[in-house]
């Protein structure tokens, strides 16, 4: 699977959004998004995905994001979910002390 999606003709390599930094979590909190609640609140999921997309490509506007088709939205969601799981697994991997 490719991590690059196109939104209204603008390229967006979602892998570049990860790992999330402390500043990202603060920005998300200011928007009222608690990442631990993702998956339970559709509006927060949309806001989170829009944040990730705009982090990677600031030229993408809310209007561009709102024009996503269901198929495009599903692809963005799938890529972000896959990358989030990968990031979580990497964070939980044992440290290499050698």
The predicted pLDDT at position 19 comes to 85
Provide the pLDDT confidence category of residue 70 given band limits of 50, 70 and 90: confident
Note the Cα 74 to chain centre separation in Å.
Answer: 12
Six-digit token string for 63: 């209007």
Provide the pLDDT confidence category of residue 2 given band limits of 50, 70 and 90: confident
Cα–Cα distance, 64 to 26 (Å, whole number): 24
Share of residues in the chain with pLDDT > 90 (%): 34
The predicted pLDDT at position 93 comes to 58
The predicted pLDDT at position 23 comes to 94
The predicted pLDDT at position 39 comes to 73
Six-digit token string for 9: 């003709």
The predicted pLDDT at position 79 comes to 84
What's the pTM?
0.78
60 closest CA partner among 45, 49, 70? 49
């Amino acid at each position: 699977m490719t991590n690059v999606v196109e939104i209204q003709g603008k390229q967006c390599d979602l892998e570049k959004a990860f790992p999330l930094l402390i500043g990202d979590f603060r920005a998300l909190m200011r928007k009222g998004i608690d990442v631990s609640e993702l998956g339970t609140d559709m509006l927060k999921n949309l806001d989170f995905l829009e944040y990730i997309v705009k982090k990677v490509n600031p030229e993408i506007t809310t209007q561009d994001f709102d024009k996503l088709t269901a198929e495009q939205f599903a692809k963005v969601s799938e890529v972000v979910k896959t990358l989030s799981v990968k990031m979580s697994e990497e964070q939980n991997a044992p440290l290499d002390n050698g």
